[in-house]
Structure 1
Amino acid sequence: MRKILIVGAGQSGLQLALSLRARGYDVTVMSARTPDEIRGGKVMSTQCMFHPALQLERDEGLNLWEAETVRVEGLGVSIAAPDASRALDWVAKLDDYAQSVDQRVKMAGWLELFEERGGKVILHGVTTADLDSLARMYDLVVVAAGKGELVQLFDRVPELSPYTAPQRALSLAYVHGLAPRPEHPDYSAVRFNIIPGIGELFMIPAYTLSGNCDILFFEGIPGGPLDCWSDRPEPKEHLHRILGLIKQYLPWEYERCTEVELTDERATLAGGYTPVVRSPVGELPSGNPVLGMADVVVANDPITGQGSNNAARCAASYLDSIVARGDQPFDREWMRSAFDTYWSYAQHVTTWTNAMLQPPPPHVLEILGAAAGKEAVASRFANGFGDPSDFQHWFLDPDKAAAYLAGV
C-alpha cells in the first residue's frame, strides 16, 4: 500500500486525502488545527462552488451539507453610475445550482470523516525542517497549505505571474437577515456589483455554523475608498463599515441590509494577497522533491470566485494522476506531468481572473451591456463561472466577442 503525506487540511488537501483513502491508499494529513478549533475559529474565506466542482464532491460522497445548504440558482451583474444609481442591471439563471459552505463547517467535518474512514491525522504546524525529516517515510508528499513557510519551497514563475502586489483589498462579513433581491424573490443568486474605478461587492448566499446566511464581500482597488481595513476593526465595527460603504456606493443593495447581523463573533475577515503561479515541484534541504497543489502553485484573486472550484479540480486531477502511476515512483518528472494536466484547465481560470482585475475594455462593457437585453449572452457569462475555459472563445478577445455578439 503506497504511503502519501498531505500537508494542509483545506478543500484540496482533504478532498484528495478522502478520495485516496476510498481507493485504499495509506494517507496521512497534517493539520495545524483540530476540527473543534476550526469550527471555533474565524471565517477563512468566501467561496461559491459551481456545478462541475460540486459534482466532484458528490462523486466522492463528500457533499455532506448539500441538502440543507441554500441553492444558488442565478448570477446577476449590476454596474453603479457616478450618482450611485444603477447604470446596468441584469440576472441570469444557472443551468445547475451552485452552493457555498463555510470552510469552518466543511473542513472540520471532512477532517472528522477522514479519521472515520481510516486516515491518519497529525495535529501539528509544519516547518520545512519538520517536513524534511518526515518526507523519507512516504512515497509521495503533497503540500496543500497555501500559507506559511512551506510555500517558499515553490519558486514563482514570472512569465505566468504578472502581478507583484495584491490587486484588491479584501473584506467580508457573514450575515443573517439579508432581504432577497426584489427582482428575483423566488430564488437566490450571487450578485456581482461593480463600482467603476473603486472595486466590487459580491453578495453570496451561503451556509455557515448557524444555518443559511449571506456573505457580503468587498474587493477594493488598492488606495481607494474600499481599501480601509488596515486597522483591523472589531467584528461589529467591521460590519458597520461594510454597510456604510454599501449605502454610499450601492444604495439598491443597502435597502436589503437594514436587518442584517453577524452570524457569529468570528464572521469577519480582511486582507489581500498577490496572484501568483509557482513551480509545482519543491525541493527540501535533503533533496527530496515535494508536489505543490491548488493555492500553493496557482493562487488567483477571488474576484471570479474560483478558489474552491480550482482546489476541487486540482484534487480530482491529482487523484487521477496518482492512481494512474501505479507502483512507479513519484519522481520530479511525474510531478511536473501531474501539474501540467491540471494546468491545462487552470490556465484558463488564471487568464480570465487576471483580466477581470483590470478596468474592463470596451468589448467587455459591450458584452455586459448586451447581456441586459439578450438572455443568451447573460446565460453564457453566468455559466462561465462553472467552466471558465469557455471565456477564451468569446469573452477575452475583442474580435471573438464581436463575432459572438453579431451572431446573437
Structure 2
Amino acid sequence: MRKILVVGAGQSGLQIALGLQAQGYEVTLMSNRTADEIRSGRVMSTQCMFHTALQHERDIQANFWEAQAPRIEGVGVSVAGPDSSPGSSSGYPTRAIDWVGKLDGYAQSVDQRVKMAGWMETFAQRGGQLVIHGAAVSDLDYFSRTYDLVLVSAGKGELVSMFERDAARSPYSEPQRALAVAYVHGLGPRPEHPEFDAVRCNLVPGVGELFVMPTFTHTGRADILFWEGVPGGPLDVFQGVKDPSEHLALTLELLEKYLPWEYARATKVELTDAGGTLAGRYAPTVRKPVGRLPGGGLVLGVADVVVANDPVTGQGSNSASKCAASYISSIVEHGDKPFDEAWMQSAFDRYWDTAQWVTKWTNAMLGAPPQHVLDILGAGSRLQPVADRFANGFNDPADFEHFFYDPEKAAAYLESVAAGA
C-alpha cells in the first residue's frame, strides 16, 4: 500500500485524497483548519462548476449536494453601454449586448465552506488520516522521507514559495483585478428567461465585471454577487473594508451606478451570514510543478499552486477538479514505481494539456476585447448557436481555439452560423 500525503484541504486536495482513498491508497490529509472552523468561517471563493468538473466529483461518489444545489442551465452575457443621452449622469443604464446561452449539461455551485467541511468529515469517516496542522517547509522536509509522494495543494502562504514562477507562461506580474464577493439571500429573478437558472456575466468596458451566480450554502439557496474591478479604477474600493454590511452596501452602490438592471433585482438582498463577504487580489501565475525541499526531497504542486488564473472566467474550481482527476490517473497508472522528478513533470504536463486552454482564455479576457471578440459577443444576441457555443466554452475552454482568438476564424465561424440560420 503506497503512502500519500496531501497538504491542503481545498477542492483539489480533498478530491485527490478521496479519490486515492477509494483506490486503496493510504492517504494522510493535512489541513490548517478543522471542518467546523471551515464551516463557520468566511467564504473562501466563488465557484461555478460545469459538467466535466461535476462529473469528476460523481466519479468518486462525492457529489453530496447535487440534489440541493440549483441547476444552472445557462450563461448570460451583458455588455454595458455608456449613456449617450444629453445631460444624463446615470453612467451605464443600457445593455449594448445581452443574451443567454444554454449549457449542454447543467452547472452547479456549492459554497466551499459546506463542501470542504463535508468532504473532510467523509475522508475521516472512510478511514483517512486527517491531521489538523499548518504545514511549513521544514515539516515537508521530514514528511518527504516518510511518504511515497507529497502533494502540495495549499495555494497560499509559505509553501507556494517553493515553486518557481514560470515566466514564459505568466504574462502578468501584478494582479489584474480587485475582487469582491458577497453571498446574499433575496435576489429577484432574472427578467429574461426566469424559468431556468443561469450565471450572469456583466461586462463594463474599462471598469470591470460583475458575475451573479446561484449557489447553495449552509442557509440554503443563495446568490453570489462578485465584482472584478480594474485595479485603481472605480470598482477598486473594497480594500480595508472589514464590516460585512459596509461591503454589501458598497456592492449595491456600484450595482446601481454601473448595472442598474442587476440593481433592480437586488434592492432587497441581505447577506447570508456574517462570513458571507470576501475581498482580495492576486497576480495570475503559472509555476514550475516540482518543489525542492532543503533536505533534497521533492514535492508536487497541485491546482492553484501551479496554475493560478484570474477568476474572470470562473475556472478556478473547475481547474482544481480537472487537476485532481488528472493527477489521480497519473498516480494510479504509475503503479509501484517511484514518484521521481520525471514522473512529477509528466503528471503536470498531462494536466497542462487541458489547463493551457484555461490560461490562454482567461488572460485574453483580462485585456480589452478586440473587435472580432466584440463581433462574437454581439452575434450572440442574434444567433442562438453562437450564444450556446460561448456558454459551453466555460465547460471546455479548448473549444475557443477554433473560433475565438483569430479574426479570420471568428469571421468564418460567424458567417457559417448566419448562413445556416
Q: Deviations over 1:253-282 (max 9, x none)?
A: 000001100000000000010000000001
Paired with 2:48 and 2:264, the residues of 1 have a C-alpha distance of 23
Paired with 1:279 and 1:232, the residues of 2 have a C-alpha distance of 34
Deviation at 1:82, TM superposition (A): 1.0
Aligned to 1:72: 72
Aligned to 1:154: 163
Give the counterpart letter for 1:369 in structure 2.
G
Deviation at 1:301, TM superposition (A): 0.2
Runs of 4+ in 1 over 3 A off after TM superposition: none
Aligned to 2:284: 275
SS in 1 for 2:172: coil
Deviation at 1:211, TM superposition (A): 0.5
Paired with 1:81 and 1:23, the residues of 2 have a C-alpha distance of 53
1:219 aligns with 2:228: yes
Aligned to 2:122: 113
Paired with 2:170 and 2:46, the residues of 1 have a C-alpha distance of 23
Q: Deviations over 1:28-59 (max 9, x none)?
A: 00000000000011000000000010011011
Aligned to 1:243: 252
Paired with 1:185 and 1:306, the residues of 2 have a C-alpha distance of 25
Deviation at 1:232, TM superposition (A): 2.1
Aligned to 2:16: 16
Aligned to 2:86: none
Q: Deviations over 1:366-397 (max 9, x none)?
A: 00001100011000000110000100111111
Q: Deviations over 1:185-233 (max 9, x none)?
A: 1111000001011000000100111001000000000110000112223
Paired with 2:155 and 2:408, the residues of 1 have a C-alpha distance of 37
Aligned to 1:37: 37
Paired with 2:2 and 2:287, the residues of 1 have a C-alpha distance of 27
Paired with 2:6 and 2:240, the residues of 1 have a C-alpha distance of 35
1:314 aligns with 2:326: no
Paired with 2:178 and 2:70, the residues of 1 have a C-alpha distance of 28
Match of 2:360 among 332, 351, 364: 351
Paired with 2:73 and 2:211, the residues of 1 have a C-alpha distance of 15
Paired with 1:97 and 1:210, the residues of 2 have a C-alpha distance of 22
Match of 2:145 among 104, 116, 136: 136
Give the counterpart letter for 2:18 in structure 1.
L
SS in 1 for 2:382: coil
1:366 aligns with 2:375: yes
Paired with 2:121 and 2:300, the residues of 1 have a C-alpha distance of 25
Aligned to 1:259: 268
1:54 aligns with 2:54: yes
Paired with 1:32 and 1:379, the residues of 2 have a C-alpha distance of 41
Give the counterpart letter for 2:17 in structure 1.
A
Paired with 2:407 and 2:158, the residues of 1 have a C-alpha distance of 41
Aligned to 1:386: 395
Aligned to 2:4: 4
Paired with 1:22 and 1:231, the residues of 2 have a C-alpha distance of 43
Which shifted more, 2-11 or 77-86? Answer: 77-86
Paired with 1:395 and 1:174, the residues of 2 have a C-alpha distance of 32
Deviation at 1:125, TM superposition (A): 0.5
Give the counterpart letter for 1:53 in structure 2.
A
Aligned to 1:27: 27
1:339 aligns with 2:348: yes
Scaled by the length of structure 1, the TM-score of the pair is 0.99
SS in 2 for 1:164: coil
Paired with 1:109 and 1:271, the residues of 2 have a C-alpha distance of 26
Paired with 1:325 and 1:394, the residues of 2 have a C-alpha distance of 37
Paired with 1:240 and 1:396, the residues of 2 have a C-alpha distance of 38
Q: Deviations over 1:89-110 (max 9, x none)?
A: 1111111110000000000000
Give the counterpart letter for 2:75 in structure 1.
L
Match of 1:298 among 281, 303, 307: 307
| RMSD of aligned alpha carbons | 0.6
Give the counterpart letter for 2:70 in structure 1.
V
SS in 2 for 1:270: strand
Give the counterpart letter for 1:272 in structure 2.
R
Paired with 1:345 and 1:194, the residues of 2 have a C-alpha distance of 26
Aligned to 2:87: none
Scaled by the length of structure 2, the TM-score of the pair is 0.96
Paired with 2:172 and 2:395, the residues of 1 have a C-alpha distance of 25
Structure 2 portions without partners, runs of 5+: 84-91
Aligned to 1:328: 337
Paired with 1:329 and 1:343, the residues of 2 have a C-alpha distance of 22
Q: Deviations over 1:314-334 (max 9, x none)?
A: 000000000011010000000
Paired with 1:181 and 1:89, the residues of 2 have a C-alpha distance of 12
Which shifted more, 395-404 or 260-269? Answer: 395-404
SS in 2 for 1:351: helix
Give the counterpart letter for 2:76 in structure 1.
G
Deviation at 1:184, TM superposition (A): 1.2
Paired with 1:392 and 1:146, the residues of 2 have a C-alpha distance of 28
